[in-house]
Structure 1
Amino acid sequence: MSRVRTATVDAWRALLFLARGMPSAAVALVLVIRVLLVAALTLIIVGWPLIPSTVRALRRWAGDERRRVEAYTGSTVPAPYPAPDELPRDAPAVPVRALLAEPATRRDLAWVVIHGFTGLIAGVLAILLPLAILNALAVPFYWWAMPEDEPAASPYPVTSWAGAFGMLGLAAGYALVTLVLLPLLARWQAAGVRHLLAPTKDARLSQRVTELTATRAAALEAHGAELRRIERDLHDGTQNRLVGVIMHLGIAERALRRDPESALPLLLKAQDQAADALGELRDVVRSIYPPVLAERGLDGALAALAARCAVRCTLRVDGLRRLPAALEAAAYFVVAEALTNTAKHSGAEHADVTATLRPPAAAGERETLVIEVRDDGHGGADESGGSGLAGIRRRVAAFDGHTEVTSPVGGPTVVRAVIPCAS
């Protein structure tokens, strides 16, 4: 029974998928006609300005088809180009020849031609087969009421009870074909979309090289910024303290030779400055790699941050384990910076911190550490205003991750960082 139920659910999902593909196929045919008209007008020059908008329409409809396939299969179909809105709308500024030469454009065009015809056929089959089942089941209930010269004929004339009960076997055959054929058609259609509308292997490789180049640049920038911060902290803080200690010790030395009793306050002051210098040096060390991470792990370190936060903070962790030290440090500083922003700028009364280690979504992918900091403040966070969000983006980008900041006026502000873990 479980297999029959599973097959029925699969067939029902495939039916909905194929039926929704019918209007998609109809629009694809309209796009084919539009492409043909633009191509004809291009021969007399006037069609050239229409090419960018036509490519934009192809890309937008291909994007809708990717989302339809993603909803059916549960896995992402990546786009081989930027979003349609990122395509320039100023026709003279658009590199038309580059658009036409781009492989993704030709693949989109091939998809609309193929989908325009096969999508309609598959959708019609998906609708007619269930209707044929219902009709075959209904024939035994109404065949006797039909006129003798116009008997029920589906697919053969039914003029007796034997013929009527034979329709039940036909309904079972239709049902078997439906259970087998519809999921198969749906898989073929989804596979065709993945083959034509997803990036090719060369395109994925090129995109990956671009991402790694940007990641390397971000890592170098983050490393340089971190070195400059450490140098600034040591120069402006610890070094000045140590200079003060040396100066007071020199004064105390001269005082010991002239008036030993007056040297004691100077020595005590030098001792205080040495203690302050040691404290600042420890702060610098903690800013490089907090000892709490080594002692208590990321979950314990985040708990300490939440406990020290100036606003009421709730922490939730899921599936965390020990991760590479550099990755744990990046996650720690992301939360620390986000909570500092919350305390200084948001006017929030409560903050939520969530840290989740997600397993790979598919074979060959990596675990991801997802950090989310949400507050109930007034929102309107501005990354250009020195709020530290740019630093968060640099830290996350150094690990090939990405950061999303949502902060509408009136709140809430949500900082979400997704960091891939080492495979």
Structure 2
Amino acid sequence: MTTRHNDGSGGRSGSGAKKESFRETVAGAVSAALAALGQLVGGLGTALLALALLGIALVTAAACLVGVGLLLAPTVLRALHALAGRERARLARHGVEVIAPEPSPTQLRAALADPATRRAAGWLAVHATFGLILGLCGLLLPIAAVRDTAFPLLWPLVPDDATSTSLGFGTADSWAEASVVSLLGVGWIAIILGLTPGMARLQARPALRLLSAGPEADLSLRIAELTATRAAALDAHAVELRRIERSLHDGTQNRLVTVTVLLGAARRMVARDPAGADEILERAQSAAEQALAELRAVARGILPPVLADRGLAGALSGLAAHCAVPCRTDVELPERCAASVEATVYFVVAEALTNIAKHSGATRATVTVRSRGGRLLLRVEDDGRGGADEAGGSGLAGIRRRIAAHDGVLSLTSPVGGPTILEVDVPCGS
């Protein structure tokens, strides 16, 4: 199911869209490669420290055989845990979250029995070798790429017997041979773009496996997360019930009471004043129609019929069409999600567009929905003044409760001056 709704500003040609998509792909690949190179070089720093600490640890272990190393062991263990903490912090700066275990002992006997310390020692050995190699690659690959790509420009300046390539072999005796070297530089660039993100993940994998809290801690965190999610779901359910109760009590119920009173009055007047009874019946009919309209509004607030009739894409297009701010929707869903998830996303978009129209001062808004790996990704963006505050009573707290009830994640970015971006990641359900 794929739909795109425009605000009338006109569409791009197919070739123009393809060129823009190609530029975005190239820009994304370059950005990912640069981030990966930074991560690899940062890992090289901790790998050099790990290599030095590994050497010290081996010397200390040998010295323990004669008793001298027992005095140095606590210092080495503290250095190990400090380096592990530094590696966690480094990975966190690159978006790789490694949950730290409980503080580990620094006494040798207790450390030997501590699983976290043994895992940290294993990471030290792996990172000092394998991580060091990957870090060196991250440092040398861009140097080789620049050197070989620019070699035709440097060729007149190099000595006659100097090697032409960064690999250390081959000499260039003409401009043609020097130009061939630049093809090797292009190959290095292709390797950087294609392989460095995977190399960065490989360098970080030992830390993810060996420096994070054990399965027991992960299970405890998951239990705490599910407990909070359950509380949020119950809270959201209670809030929804109160909203429905207020709508029925303050609106529909009062209308129906009015209808009952008017019908009773008309019944008493029908024999002695038929004209007056007819007027009262008209008022009763109008009140009954208003009660019916309010009852339908309450029903739509529980589960909008448009979701069943047109699906999420059509429902969001309807919201965009009625939004006071020009809004474009871009929805690509290969299949339907669970009804409760679709209803939640619908209400989130409705609340977000209402906030945009009331508070943002925006001139345009965009709603994007994608399905990736069994999860539904929603993004609502506007070009308004920004400064949205969840504690300011704008309905964002209610949106967060709705998302948490489905074990989803909501993030809001709204710097002063804009733009405001609301992103939702929620399981599609079944």
Counterpart of 1:421 in structure 2 is 428
1:232: how far off?
Answer: 0.7
Counterpart check, 1:61 vs 2:83? no
TM-score (norm: length of structure 1): 0.65
After superposition, the C-alpha distances for 1:240-273 in whole angstroms (9 at most, x for unaligned) are: 1111111111221222243222111111111101
Q: Is the 8 A contact 1:357 1:368 kept in 2?
A: yes
Amino acid at match of 1:23: G
Q: How many residues end up aligned between the 2 structures?
A: 328
SS of aligned partner of 2:103:
helix
SS of aligned partner of 2:370:
strand
- Give, in whole Å, the separation in 1 of the partners of 2:201 and 2:396: 43
Amino acid at match of 2:343: A
1:416: how far off?
Answer: 0.9
After superposition, the C-alpha distances for 1:211-255 in whole angstroms (9 at most, x for unaligned) are: 222211111111111111100110111111111111111221222
Q: Is the 8 A contact 1:31 1:112 kept in 2?
A: no
SS of aligned partner of 2:270:
helix
- Give, in whole Å, the separation in 2 of the partners of 1:65 and 1:321: 36
After superposition, the C-alpha distances for 1:12-47 in whole angstroms (9 at most, x for unaligned) are: x999987654322234468899999xx98999xxx9
SS of aligned partner of 2:308:
helix
Amino acid at match of 2:279: P
Counterpart of 1:79 in structure 2 is 98
Amino acid at match of 2:418: G
Cα gap change, 1:242 to 1:32, in 2 (>3 Å): farther
Counterpart of 1:386 in structure 2 is 393
Identity of aligned residues (%): 48
1:189: how far off?
Answer: 5.1
1:299: how far off?
Answer: 0.3
1:376: how far off?
Answer: 1.3
Counterpart of 2:103 in structure 1 is 99
Counterpart of 1:138 in structure 2 is none
1:394: how far off?
Answer: 0.8
- Give, in whole Å, the separation in 1 of the partners of 2:393 and 2:426: 23
Long gaps (5+) in structure 2: 1-34, 61-69, 106-110, 148-159, 163-167, 169-195
Counterpart of 1:325 in structure 2 is 339
1:204: how far off?
Answer: 2.6
Q: Is the 8 A contact 2:116 2:213 kept in 1?
A: no
Q: Alignment partner for residue 207 of structure 2, among 165, 189, 193?
A: 193
1:60: how far off?
Answer: 4.2
SS of aligned partner of 1:323:
coil
- Give, in whole Å, the separation in 2 of the partners of 1:59 and 1:340: 45
SS of aligned partner of 2:411:
strand
What does residue range 129-208 of structure 1 map to in structure 2 within 5 Å? 190-208=204-222
TM-score (norm: length of structure 2): 0.64
1:422: how far off?
Answer: 2.4
Counterpart check, 1:110 vs 2:124? no
SS of aligned partner of 1:254:
helix
1:127: how far off?
Answer: 9.9
- Give, in whole Å, the separation in 1 of the partners of 2:424 and 2:52: 41
Amino acid at match of 2:356: T
1:207: how far off?
Answer: 2.2
Q: Is the 8 A contact 1:370 1:416 kept in 2?
A: yes
Amino acid at match of 2:320: A
RMSD: 4.4
What does residue range 266-345 of structure 1 map to in structure 2 within 5 Å? 266-345=280-359
- Give, in whole Å, the separation in 2 of the partners of 1:353 and 1:185: 35
SS of aligned partner of 2:367:
strand
Q: Is the 8 A contact 1:104 1:199 kept in 2?
A: no
Q: Is the 8 A contact 1:293 1:329 kept in 2?
A: yes
Q: Is the 8 A contact 1:59 1:108 kept in 2?
A: no
